[in-house]
Amino acid sequence: MKAVYKTDVGRIRKNNEDSVGIFINNDGQRLAIVADGMGGHRAGDVASSMTLTALKEMWEESERIQTADQAEEWLKSKIVQVNRDLFEHSNNHAECEGMGTTIEAVITTNLFATIAHVGDSRCYILNESGFQQLTEDHTLVNELVRTGQISKEDAEHHPRKNVILRALGTEQTVNIDIKTITFEEGDNLLLCSDGLSNKVSEEEMAEILKNDINLDKKAETLISLANEHGGEDNITLAIVEFSEFSEGDE
């Protein structure tokens, strides 16, 4: 397995409210996380960094994940716990009232990848079937598209495009989308905040991921392109590649 992560403040914002990391447990398995602190809310950076830190600490203490059921249960229980901690923190600290964050968390093993998703950050896969989005945005606009009230084209420029229907930390309970997929040699997973997905098309993402360049360069190219296209938001991503030298390869 090879992996890389990067974040960039973008061209407009003064602060970076995104958090990202890839962490290893006691058995060498990876947990990749992208968390986008909610823009327009106070302390979005606190929400995303608290989420990342808590999941990192719990993952680094965890033992080998052997089945998809174990991975799904680990992600669900830990994210529910983090949501509760964020909600309590915002209630007990006036400066953090209303804070929240998206979460994209993926456990990768040599057999499968398990994805947990809340909000409008995304997870994509590039494999032999092509390039596709694995997650559904928890946004007002996506709900309007899903129910046939507006077209996908209308959604691109909708005035309420940034309204999120689901996030960590904003309510006492949270619904988490969790799915497991087969993860095979040559496959690439891309996790990203909407600072990337709003600015770089799926065609552009796929083309860059397919390029015969190293993962660092792929990540840099994606971020540069988002900035070239405006860079109005923080831009964050993680790429995990199932390489042929997966055993023990960092």
pLDDT in tens, 123-159: 999 999 999 999 999 989 888 888 889 887 777 777 7
Contacts of 101 (CB under 8 A, 6+ apart): 19, 35, 36, 37, 38, 44, 47, 48, 51, 86, 119, 167, 168, 169
Give pLDDT tens digits for 45-91.
999 999 999 999 999 999 899 999 999 999 999 999 999 999 999 99
The span from the CA of 155 to the CA of 138, in Å, is 13
Is the pLDDT at 247 greater than 50, yes or no? no
| The model's pTM | 0.93
CA count, 13 A, side-chain hemisphere, 148: 0
Provide the mean pLDDT of the chain. 92
Closest CA to 209 of 239, 181, 231: 239
Is the pLDDT at 40 greater than 60, yes or no? no
Is the pLDDT at 169 greater than 90, yes or no? yes
Give pLDDT tens digits for 77-89.
999 999 999 999 9
199 phi/psi in degrees, rounded to 5: -115, -20
